[in-house]
Amino acid sequence: MALKQTFKWIAVAVLVLLLGASFHYSGGWLQLCAGLALFLFGMQCLEQGLKALAGGGMERLLARSTATPLKGLLFGGGATLLLQSSTLVSLLTIAFLGTG
C-alpha cells in the first residue's frame, strides 16, 4: 500500500515538472492555461453568487418561465436579446444548473 502511495506522489511530481517545463518553453501555452484558470475562477464566483441570489422568488420565476420546452426557448431567446450575448446566457444557464 505504501509503495502505491509513493508511486502516486512521484507521478504527480513528474506531471507538475512537465507542466512547468511546457510553460517555460511555450508562452502561448502559459497564456492559454492562465486564461482558462481565470475563466473557471469567474464561473465559480458566478455560481456562488447565484447560489446566494437564487432564493425562493428567483427560483419560482425561473421554474415558471421554463416550465415547458416552448417557454424555455422563448425565455432563452428573450434573455439573449436582452443581454446581447448567447454565450453569457449559456454560461448563466450552466451556473444555474450547477446550483441545483
Query: What are the residue ranges spanned by the domains of the chain?
Result: 1-46, 54-100
Higher pLDDT, 51 or 27: 27
Asked whether residue 18 carries a pLDDT value surpassing 80, the answer given is yes
Q: What is the pLDDT of residues 90-99, one digit of tens each?
A: 777 776 666 6
pLDDT-based confidence at 54, cuts 50/70/90?
Answer: low
Give the closest residue to 93 by CA, choosing from 53, 50, 57, 40.
50
In single-letter form, the type of residue at position 79 comes to A
pLDDT-based confidence at 81, cuts 50/70/90?
Answer: confident
Q: Does the reported pTM lie above 0.85? A: no
